[in-house]
Amino acid sequence: MVGGGDLRIVLSPGTILLRSNDIKHRIKSAGAKLIIADVSSVDNVDQATKHLEDCPQKIFVGDKSDTSPGWAHFESLMDEAPAKFETIKSKSSDPMTLFFTSGTTGAPKMALHTHGSYGYGHSITARYMLNIDHNGMMWNMSDTGWAKAAWTSLFAPWIRGACIFIHNSDKFDPERTLQILDKYPLTNFCAPPTVYRHLVKQPLHRYNLSKNLLCIGAGEPVNPELLKEWHDGTGLNLYEGYGQTETTFLCGTYPCVEIRPGSMGKAAPGIDLEIVDNDGSVLPRNTEGVIGVRVKPVRPMGLFSHYVDDDNRNKAVFKGDFYLTGDRGKMDGDDYIWFIGRDDDVMLSSGYRIGPFEVESALIEHPAVLESAVVSSPDEVRGEVVKAFVILTEPYSNHDKEKLREELQNHVKSVTAPYKYPRKIEFVDQLPKTVSGKIRRVELRNREWGRNGTEVSEKD
């Protein structure tokens, strides 16, 4: 927005994996006035903005000769800009960053962070999750479109004066990753546990990783087997950091505290965590419930302000004295927290947070799909993956199922961010539903994870 001659920017990062439908939704939801992108996203942005009445301005970052019609060139604009630039005096309550986070029953929602809370809140991330100082060199394996990049590629290392290490690549390569860890004087390495699961399958004895390298897993649970395999192969401990797009660092394991395999550690200093019920009442120790962050009488630094244009969701997550994370767990008598799973249907796969609605919406666009339900399914490498239960339309009922699976997977990749595609697809005759006709994803999820659930009949 422009007001009083000042440029007042609210930043909303997006991964280059977003497709035109994703981008269009974000533009319309956030009321975006400006888009900055490189060559990897230009076509998707143009497709997303083709029929918008209020089309955002577009700035291209890259070689000037590659600039498409309708796009301004970033470096050219910088050359023309006045030498003097005065930063506005923002208030602590002013909006700063808008992150989109996946939902269970609708499109991604907007979580708003303010100037006075978010950046400073990552001082806890820097000091206790990363344990980094001005002598450190941080390598965080995260796309800059995610809040995780804001955590460990921007705010936390910069607060401590540390160096940020960046390696550009088109895709993850476990062998190359280990070569980099061997070659450069890195002090801190943070990646999703899925990355470590790939790394431990390599001949780790061939690499000389520094004994001072602090290794952190974040974005999904770290299982006890992985802790052992990583330590056996490298001699290094694997620590865990837990938080959300809506928060900064909430809970983790630390070099100064005993690691209990299977637990994600203890609350971060300055953060008061409890296990609560859905109304925000504290539950006894060793009782399963929702992981809650105490927000009264003192609201912790780093917690998001609210979900934009979503009063119902705001009321659902702020209950009593707590913000309800939507993650379920238990707390033992020694204050260790044990993660159990999501309280809703959101999936955590390879560090990505995926809502079932987004995948189901993509699937239903294909003429073969009459109805679908998407849930998480266990996976040895990724922890959990997206699985779709699909009822076929009559014309496709006799099609080759293997070819149809591949076709549907490619279809989802083409209409939404590729990381959301269902790695598993099961064709069924019916889906479990409530009396009112709503799909009971919980029954399908329970079946996948070996809990008590309702069976569905298969077609093939």
Could you tell me the residue ranges of all domains in the chain? 2-89, 112-342, 347-448
Q: Do 112-342 and 347-448 fold alike per CATH? A: no
Confidence of residue 2 (pLDDT cuts 50, 70, 90): very low
Is pLDDT above 50 for 460? no
Out of 251-260, 344-353, 387-396, least confident range: 344-353
What is the structure's pLDDT at 438? 65
The whole-number average pLDDT for the span 325-344 is 89
| DSSP strand pairing (369-379 vs 383-392) | antiparallel
Whether the Cβ atoms of residue 342 and residue 326 lie closer than 8 Å to each other? yes
Per-residue pLDDT band for 48 (boundaries 50, 70, 90) equals very high
Q: What is the mean pLDDT of residues 139-153?
A: 92
- Alpha-carbon gap, residue 308 to 310, rounded angstroms: 6
Among the CATH numbers 3.20.20.70, 3.40.50.12780, 3.40.1690.10, 2.60.120.10, which is that of 112-342? 3.40.50.12780
pLDDT score of 453 more than 80: no
Q: What is the pLDDT of residue 457?
A: 38
Looking at the structure, give the CATH architecture of the domain made up of residues 347-448.
2-Layer Sandwich (3.30)
CA of residue 62 relative to chain centroid, distance: 27
The neighbouring-strand residues paired with 37 are 60
C-alpha torsion angle, residues 423, 347, 338, 267 (rounded to 10): 130
Half-sphere exposure of 223 (CA within 13 A, CB side): 15
- Report pTM: 0.81
Mean pLDDT for 322-342 is 92
Query: Which pLDDT does position 455 carry in this prediction?
Result: 40
pLDDT value of position 332: 97
Torsion of CA 432, 436, 441, 443, to 10 degrees: -50
> How high is the pLDDT of residue 382?
84
Model confidence over 193-221: pLDDT tens digits? 889 988 999 999 999 999 999 999 998 88
- Please report which confidence band the pLDDT of residue 1 belongs to, taking 50, 70 and 90 as the band edges: very low
Q: What is the arithmetic mean of pLDDT over 104-110?
A: 74
Report the alpha-carbon angle 210-216-221, nearest 5. 145
